[in-house]
Amino acid sequence: MNKSSYYFIPDVLTSEEIKEIQEHYKDYVCDHYSVISDKWNKESEKMTRMEAPNRYLDLIGIPENKFPSLTEKIKKSFQKIIKQRVSLEGPHYYCHYHTGDFHGVHRDNYATHFSRDLAIIIHLSDPTEYEGGELIVNNEITPRQKGAAIIFDASQLHELTKVTKGDRYIISECAN
pLDDT tens per residue, range 42-87: 667 778 888 888 899 999 989 888 898 999 999 999 999 888 888 8
Distances (CA, A) of 15 to 10, 104, 105, 149: 12, 29, 30, 14
Task: Dump the DSSP string for 100-159.
Answer: T-EEEEE-S-SSSSS---EEEEEE-S-GGGEEE--EEETTEEPP--TT-EEEEETTS-EE
Residue 85 pLDDT: 84
Q: Is residue 16 part of a domain?
A: yes
CB-CB contact of 56 with 100 (8 Å): yes
Residue 138 pLDDT: 94
Number of other residues whose CB lies within 10 A of the CB of residue 42: 15
CB-CB contact of 135 with 142 (8 Å): yes
Range of the domain at 93: 6-175
Q: How many domains are contained in the chain?
A: 1
- Weakest mean pLDDT among 40-44, 124-128, 165-169: 40-44
CATH of the domain at 77: 2.60.120.620
Q: Work out the pLDDT band at 33, boundaries 50, 70, 90.
A: confident
Residue count of the chain: 176
Q: Is residue 1 part of a domain?
A: no
175 has pLDDT over 70: yes
Percent of the chain with pLDDT over 70: 90
